[in-house]
């Protein structure tokens, strides 16, 4: 991996899980991409600035800066870059934020290479159908908690204080994803 070729589309893959990054990188290379990998936003920024990729797959939560920082930077470097945000902590608040910053699509982990390639073709500006049924109270609560968690940079203790909630109660609520 980490090679650049003029005749294949360039892709930047940023994830702090070494095994996932390696397996996904190989799978994306088999699908015709010239893949460059990085384990953090900090190590990906110089790579992106030196050679802005045509495509990017970025994990949301990593050691160091949030993947959202890289989404914004990539979009500023080249608004045509197709960016897929991956996360194990999916919420509407972070999905909206990722799209606002320039992501093409937002996928929950585990996502496979075919789903990611399909997501590159997704148009973030397309009309999104409105849900026929409104969200449940549990789902709204869960999304609110995740929005506050995002605002607190993933800090559980700080989020619990802001929500005036015991930290363990918050952890239980986060573990229960509503339908």
* 10-120 and 137-175 agree in CATH topology: no
Residue 179 is predicted with a pLDDT of: 58
Alpha-carbon distance of 14 to 158, in angstroms, equals 27
Per-residue pLDDT reduced to its tens digit, 154-176 = 899 999 999 999 999 888 888 87
Whether domain 137-175 has CATH 1.10.10.60: the reply is: yes
Whole-structure pTM value: 0.66
**Domain segments of the chain: what residues?**
10-120, 137-175
Output DSSP code: residue 178: -
Give the residue among 116, 53, 81, 76 at the shortest CA–CA distance from 37.
53
Mean pLDDT, each 10-residue run in order, the chain (179 residues): 64 92 93 94 94 94 89 93 85 82 86 89 48 59 77 88 91 76
How many residues in the chain?
179
Residue 30 is predicted with a pLDDT of: 92
Output DSSP code: residue 65: S
Give the residue among 107, 52, 128, 146 at the shortest CA–CA distance from 98.
107
| Strands in 21-66 per DSSP E | 34-38, 55-59
CATH superfamily, domain 10-120, is: Response regulator (3.40.50.2300)
Alpha-carbon distance of 73 to 60, in angstroms, equals 14
């Amino acid at each position: 991996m980490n090679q650049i070729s003029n005749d294949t589309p360039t892709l930047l893959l940023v994830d702090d899980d070494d095994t996932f990054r390696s397996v996904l990188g190989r799978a994306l290379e088999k699908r015709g991409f010239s893949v460059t990998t990085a384990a953090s936003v900090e190590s990906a920024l110089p790579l992106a600035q030196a050679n802005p990729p045509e495509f990017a797959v970025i994990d949301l939560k990593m050691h160091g800066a949030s993947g959202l920082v890289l989404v914004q930077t990539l979009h500023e470097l080249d608004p045509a870059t197709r960016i897929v945000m991956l996360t194990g902590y999916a919420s509407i608040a972070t999905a909206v934020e990722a799209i606002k910053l320039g992501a093409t699509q937002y996928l929950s982990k585990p996502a496979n290479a075919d789903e990611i390639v399909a997501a590159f073709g997704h148009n973030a500006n397309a009309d999104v159908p409105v849900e026929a049924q409104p969200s449940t109270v549990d789902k709204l609560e869960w999304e609110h908690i995740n929005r506050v968690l995002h605002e607190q940079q993933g800090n559980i203790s700080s989020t619990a204080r802001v929500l005036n909630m015991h930290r363990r109660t918050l952890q239980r609520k986060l573990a229960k994803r509503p339908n």
